[in-house]
Amino acid sequence: MPRDDDGDDCKRSSKACESKGDDDYVTAVGSALPSAAEPKAALGLRGLDISAVVKSERNPRPCAEHERVERALDAQVLVVFELPDGSEGEKHFKMGHTVEVLKSFVEEEFEIPMGVQSLYLDETLMLDPLSLSDYPAIDPARDCFVRVGGEIPEQAQKK
């Protein structure tokens, strides 16, 4: 039989349950246990006011910095593709789009497979995991010229 410091409460609880049933036993034993509604006392946090933390976590407005970044990534830039045969193609992309998105467009529009493409910004090879915003030379206020390396299949033609 469970015992507390002096053993009397548990003995009384057990005897009450024998005569009244399991529900009364849970009630009797539960009253002797610390309440889950008292975490401050159980954790030694008496007098600590965390209401400011709770309020800040519930603030639904994103911070100004987050909004600025979102606007920058959503900015449109006109990308002009200089193709290996000397022709050009263009499309607007968001600054947050990756180089892979550009390569996918070139494959779909000009039939140059992504696996054989190389995209160059000036003389800099553009890497797949990076986005347009990762290249400081790309400015949404100006057209962006990207040279496409790779072979255009003979049967391919601009759609």
Instruction: Give the domain ranges of the chain.
Output: 68-149
Q: What is the pLDDT of residues 3-27, one digit of tens each?
A: 445 555 445 544 544 555 555 555 5
CATH number for region 68-149: 3.10.20.90
pLDDT tens by residue, 62-109: 688 888 878 878 899 999 999 999 999 999 999 999 999 999 999 999
pTM for the whole structure: 0.57
Q: Would you list the DSSP string of the chain? A: ----SSSHHHHHHHHHHHHH-HHHHHHHHHHHSPPTT-HHHHHT-TT---HHHHHHHT--SPPHHHHHHHHHHH-EEEEEEE-TTS-EEEEEEETT-BHHHHHHHHHHHH---GGG-EEEETTEEPPTT-BGGG-TT--TTS-EEEEEESPPPTT----
Mean pLDDT lowest for which of 41-45, 52-56, 67-71?
41-45
Residue 57 pLDDT: 56
